[in-house]
Amino acid sequence: MSRSIQGIPASPGIVIGKAYVLRWPSMQIAHATVPTRDVGAEAGRFTEACQVARERTRALREEVAARVGSVQAKIFDPQLLMLDDPELIDATLTYIRDSSLTAERAFYLRVLEFRSQWLDATHARVMDRLADLTDIEARVLSALTDLPIPDVRVDLPEHPVILLAKDLTPSRTVELEPGRVLGIATEAGTRTSHSSILARTLGMPAVVGLGDFVNTIEAGTELVLDGHRGRVVVEPSDAEKASFHDRDLHVRQIERELTELRAVEPVTRDGVRIELLANLEFPEEAKVAAAAGADGVGLFRTEFLVVGLSAVPDEEEQYQAFKTVVQAFKPHPVVIRTYDLGGDKYPMFMPPLIEDNPFLGWRGIRIYDKMPQLFRNQVKAVLRSAALGQVRMLLPMVSSVEEIEGVRRLIAEVRGELIAEGVDHEECPLGVMLETPAAVAIVEILSRHVDFFSLGTNDLAQYVLAVDRGNAQLSRFYDGYHPALIRFIRDAVSGAQIAGCPLSACGEQASDVVGAALMIGLGVRSLSCTPGAIPEIKKLIRSVEVGYLERAAADLFSAETGKEVRRRWLKSLEDTVELAGVGTAPSLSGPD
């Protein structure tokens, strides 16, 4: 009998295949000492092993840069930093010298202490740091002992498989070959983890955050992995396999048909043009988005420049990244969102912030006061890129006018510096994300201080519903159709319209046909979605009438539950829109 396990969608796609369970060999090192006279030699042996580990890490970084890209290769920089960290390396040498421990036993104990400290911190960046530490531990211990480093490329069976693991380190992920690994399912992980980012870059479907399940699956068990919905079906029935197979074929057919829509305008049947923009996570995606027919970039996330890295990026590095995107879309607009750090996104160079709830702590615009140089460098790079095209600057997690005023003062200072330096730059429009209940409540007040709004439905849902959207165990409470949420969206849109301030929706709902239709029905006339969703959303736009969607959306406000809102909305769309992959993410589908 089949069973379904819900996790977090990390990389889209649907695959059916046999399970292969990746199990790490035990890294337990028995207690052992060396004679006092050999302590110096043992310390030297450890130093040599660390150098071997550095060389292996650098080689892997170069391999990833050549195979995937230089930006993605930077995720190995924190590992190199760890191998020079005095708290890890020098402390291990101290254990060797003071306790006459063998190099492998001393390092093993120090790694255990690191793990204990990080897990006790309960911090959002712990998962990536633990994965990096696991990679480093394996390389150092392998150089010191005969413990093998698991090599997925060698150990995998000849036939394609769905890989199951408790977690995947970055180096294990980049070893995966799409032809041999159909998809990835892990117990731990988040959508923003290094391994998830690499899976999306490799085009490999992935579901993470599935909880304790690996030990319940035997190798060779048939699975369906749905990277759109974040679901794994164990031992699916023939009917279930046929359903997933048909849906996958249908989506692929729709994708082929949608390529013909790239050059046509996103105009509804009753003549309303909907601006269709792209969300970008990396500069390399700009060409794909432009080829898909995007009107511009509605959200260029810049966290790729810092997350997981060990040094503050300089102004020039950021400018070159922005320049790539601006030139790819010229003369169309490019909205660059300044760093949205905190929550589940932390660079290694940020000062430690011990918080019970990081999503309600130092996050987004609040970080800028703690790290002013980080923000100044970015503002300079944005203003310089504005001299190349139609650039707009977007601020995350704003909840007050004072925050905007502070940023405007800093922008004025930075402009003065650029003028003094004789550097080409331009002023650019300033906007804020509407993603906190506070910002939505004072949208008309905020409109007097900004030039545009971006509606962030992902975080808005999280804060309105008080649900961590990255927690798979709470996925049934994270409901994109909750009556409270659609009221907040309506208020944000109407408030911006009254103030005459442009608004674009850039959350996950704008990338899903059902959610995008709802945004239009609630008054949104500019959508920003993932590059791959642009053709499908354009087809949606050309198949609907705004008047009909508005009338159908007005009927939703009498519904008492998210389930009823969704049922009514899907019913209203049945005869109007061809729905491929309806509700492709738990955040949109809500509780069944």
Q: Which amino acid is at 365?
A: I
Q: What is the DSSP string of 263-325?
A: TS--B-TTS-B-EEEEEESSTTHHHHHHHTT-SSEEEE--GGGTTT-SSPPPHHHHHHHHHHH
Per-residue pLDDT tens over the stretch 166-212: 888 777 787 788 888 999 999 987 776 767 877 887 788 999 988 88
Per-residue pLDDT tens over the stretch 295-331: 999 999 998 788 656 677 889 989 999 999 999 999 9
**CA distances for 178 relative to 157, 211, 293, angstroms:** 14, 24, 28
Q: Which residues are catalytic?
A: 194, 506
Domain boundaries, the chain: 3-24+151-251, 36-144, 275-428, 440-592
Angle at which helix 103-121 crosses helix 89-99, to 10 degrees, equals 130
Q: What is the pLDDT of residue 584?
A: 37
Q: What is the pLDDT of residue 478?
A: 81
What tokens appear for 414 in the block?
A: 């930075």
Per-residue three-class SS string for 33-66: ECCHHHHHHHHHHHHHHHHHHHHHHHHHHHHHHH
* Average pLDDT of the segment spanning 500-510: 91
Q: What is the pLDDT of residue 591?
A: 34
Query: Please, what is the average pLDDT of the chain?
Result: 86
What tokens appear for 375 in the block?
A: 């923000």
Per-residue three-class SS string for 147-170: CCCCCHHHHCCCCCEEEEECCCCH
Q: Which residue has the tokens 């600057």?
A: 393
Which architecture, in CATH terms, is 3-24+151-251? 3-Layer(bba) Sandwich (3.50)
Per-residue pLDDT tens over the stretch 407-418: 999 999 999 999
Query: Alpha-carbon distance 87 to 79, whole Å?
Result: 14
Query: Alpha-carbon distance 571 to 586, whole Å?
Result: 19
Same fold, 275-428 and 440-592: yes
Q: Which residues pair with 433 in a beta bridge?
A: 454
Residues 410 and 376: beta-carbon distance below 8 Å: yes
The answer to whether domain 36-144 has CATH 3.40.630.20 is no
Which has the closest alpha carbon to 510: 344, 336, 266, 253? 266
Which has the closest alpha carbon to 174: 56, 67, 310? 67
Could you tell me the CATH superfamily of domain 275-428?
Phosphoenolpyruvate-binding domains (3.20.20.60)
Per cent of the chain over pLDDT 90 is 51
Confidence category of residue 255, pLDDT binned at 50, 70, 90: low
Q: What is the pLDDT of residue 175?
A: 74
Query: Alpha-carbon distance 171 to 149, whole Å?
Result: 11
Per DSSP bridges, beta strands 206-208 and 297-300 are unpaired
pTM to 2 decimal places? 0.70
Burial of 494 (0-12, 13-18, 19+ CB in 10 A): middle
Residues 328 and 388: beta-carbon distance below 8 Å: no
Per-residue pLDDT tens over the stretch 401-440: 999 999 999 999 999 999 999 999 999 999 999 999 999 9
Per-residue pLDDT tens over the stretch 2-15: 888 999 888 888 99
What tokens appear for 467 in the block?
A: 């649900």
Q: What is the pLDDT of residue 460?
A: 93
What tokens appear for 66 in the block?
A: 């050549």
Which architecture, in CATH terms, is 440-592? Alpha-Beta Barrel (3.20)
